[in-house]
């Protein structure tokens, strides 16, 4: 079952900070998670969850980390934060 | 914690390649031990915020040590797959550095935004991005 998706107000600035191609990768990943929420860690009783994914472009590895609020009651995933780092691969 | 930096002995004893490999493995084991508390990094209960910040502080210390191990290991190798665990260590450092850019107080603030209804749909954010790139 598909979950609804949302982005917290200030988390929009995090998306703006990413390169356009990485934004597209982010939306694709988010839609993949909404279509299959079991890919996310189980919601914790105490807090929100971390989720990471990686993309490689021009021999540079991009690690994208999201903080996500997952609410199984209302079937919704809300992104609270998105940050990323990149690392040039050797060899 | 011993208070002795993880990398104090790295350049000083034995075969540097073997030593670096052991420190890479040790850094990854340390990360796994800390990661057991990932569900406490962003607590919804405000009373747990201080503990969450301590956990972030522990990760910041880990990143500092792990980056030193990584630099030493990279200096001894020419490709990332030359040393077991090296690429995993790079990945974990990148993941945790990005995580540290989202301290508990920041996420708590954004959670409050969500509770006030300040949530945007994917379509709204994409529209905003397109308008921004045109403007």
Domain ranges of chain A: 4-88
Average pLDDT, chain A: 92
Touching B: A residues 40-69, CB under 8 Å: 41, 44, 46-50, 52, 54, 61, 63-65, 67, 69
Q: Tally the domains of chain B.
A: 1
Task: Report the alpha-carbon distance of residue B17 to residue B39 in Å, rounded.
Answer: 35
In tens, the pLDDT along B68-126 reads: 999 989 988 899 888 999 999 999 999 999 999 999 999 999 999 999 999 999 999 99
Residue B88 within a domain: yes
Q: What is the CATH number of domain A4-88?
A: 3.30.2310.20
Residue B47 within a domain: yes
Query: What does each C-alpha distance from A76 to A7, B114, B121 come to in angstroms?
Result: 11, 12, 11
The phi, psi pair for B11, rounded to 5°, reads: -85, 0
- SS3 assignment, position B119: strand
Which domain covers residue B69, as residue numbers?
Answer: 16-134
Residue B36 within a domain: yes
Q: Does A88 touch chain B (CB under 8 A)?
A: no
User: How many CB pairs below 8 A link A and B?
Assistant: 128
Residue B10 within a domain: no
Indicate the pTM of the whole model.
0.91
ipTM: 0.94
Q: Does A25 touch chain B (CB under 8 A)?
A: no
- Higher local confidence (pLDDT), A86 or A46: A86
Q: Does A71 touch chain B (CB under 8 A)?
A: no
User: B40 and B49 in contact (C-beta within 8 Å)?
Assistant: no
């Amino acid at each position: 079952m598909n979950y609804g998706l949302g982005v917290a107000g200030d988390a929009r600035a995090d998306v703006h900070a990413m390169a356009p191609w990485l934004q597209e990768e982010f939306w694709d990943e988010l839609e993949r998670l909404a279509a299959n929420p079991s890919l996310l860690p189980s919601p914790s009783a105490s807090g929100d969850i971390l989720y990471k994914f990686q993309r490689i472009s021009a021999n540079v590895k991009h690690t994208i980390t999201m903080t996500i609020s997952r609410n199984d009651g209302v079937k919704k995933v809300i992104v609270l934060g998105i940050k990323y780092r990149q690392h040039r691969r050797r060899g | 914690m011993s208070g002795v930096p993880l990398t104090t002995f790295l350049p000083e004893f034995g075969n540097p390649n073997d030593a670096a490999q052991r420190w890479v493995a040790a850094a990854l084991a340390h990360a796994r031990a800390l990661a057991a508390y990932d569900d406490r990094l962003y607590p919804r209960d405000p009373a747990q915020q201080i503990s969450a910040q301590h956990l972030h502080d522990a990760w910041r210390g880990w990143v500092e040590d792990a980056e030193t191990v990584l630099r030493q290991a990279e200096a001894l190798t020419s490709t990332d797959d030359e040393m077991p665990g090296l690429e995993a260590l790079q990945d974990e450092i990148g993941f945790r550095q990005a995580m540290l850019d989202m301290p508990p107080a920041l996420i708590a603030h954004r959670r409050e935004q969500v509770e006030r209804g300040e949530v945007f749909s994917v379509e709204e954010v994409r529209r905003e991005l397109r308008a921004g790139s045109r403007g």
